[in-house]
């Protein structure tokens, strides 16, 4: 009996984020990589043992990014510009890396724009990393294989 090569699943802490093909920050957390098909129930006359479930539209929740606060102002500038005029929409990519740092899979969002920014909780008694949060609305996700 021969055994095949062991294939381990990818780890969730090896990733990076690009906005408009520019690596913008080392995010510590990304949430909202999901989609859901909304359905509508239809009760067909004469079929009393089940109800049809028909797809209607696909919804995507906002993406939430968290990162340690640094002296880079790119994300803050994007948020601030969105407050004073039409939001500049950007395409972004979340790219998963394997154990050796090679890009293996990813998700691309289309026409994203900032809808919420949250600064760090500050405490003179703590020693935690100052974390900022950015929430982005978008028009959909596309999965891709990099390697």
Domain positions in the chain: 15-145
The per-residue pLDDT for 3 is 66
Contact 30, 15 (CB under 8 A): yes
Instruction: Band the pLDDT of 110: cuts 50, 70, 90.
Output: very high
Beta bridge partners of 144: 106
Residue with tokens 């969002």: 109
Mapped onto helix, strand or coil, the DSSP state of residue 4 is: coil
Whether 13 contacts 63, CB under 8 Å = no
CATH no. of 15-145: 2.30.110.20
Q: Which two tokens stand for residue 80?
A: 């601030």
- Could you tell me which residues are beta bridge partners of residue 38? 57
Contact of 32 with 109, CB cutoff 8 Å:
no
Confidence band (pLDDT; 50, 70, 90) for 109? Answer: very high
């Amino acid at each position: 009996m021969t055994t095949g090569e062991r294939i381990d699943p990818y780890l969730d802490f090896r990733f990076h984020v690009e906005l408009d093909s520019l690596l913008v920050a080392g995010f510590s957390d990304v949430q909202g990589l999901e989609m859901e098909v909304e359905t509508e129930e239809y009760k067909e006359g004469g079929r009393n043992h089940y109800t049809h479930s028909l797809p209607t539209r696909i919804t995507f929740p906002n993406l939430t990014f968290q990162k340690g606060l640094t002296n880079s102002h790119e994300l803050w500038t994007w948020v601030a510009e969105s407050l004073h005029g039409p939001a500049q929409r950007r395409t972004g990519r979340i790219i998963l890396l394997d154990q050796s740092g090679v890009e293996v899979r990813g998700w691309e969002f289309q026409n994203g724009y900032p809808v919420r920014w949250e600064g760090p909780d500050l405490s003179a008694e703590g020693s935690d990393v100052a974390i900022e949060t950015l929430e982005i609305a978008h028009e959909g996700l596309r999965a891709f294989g990099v390697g």
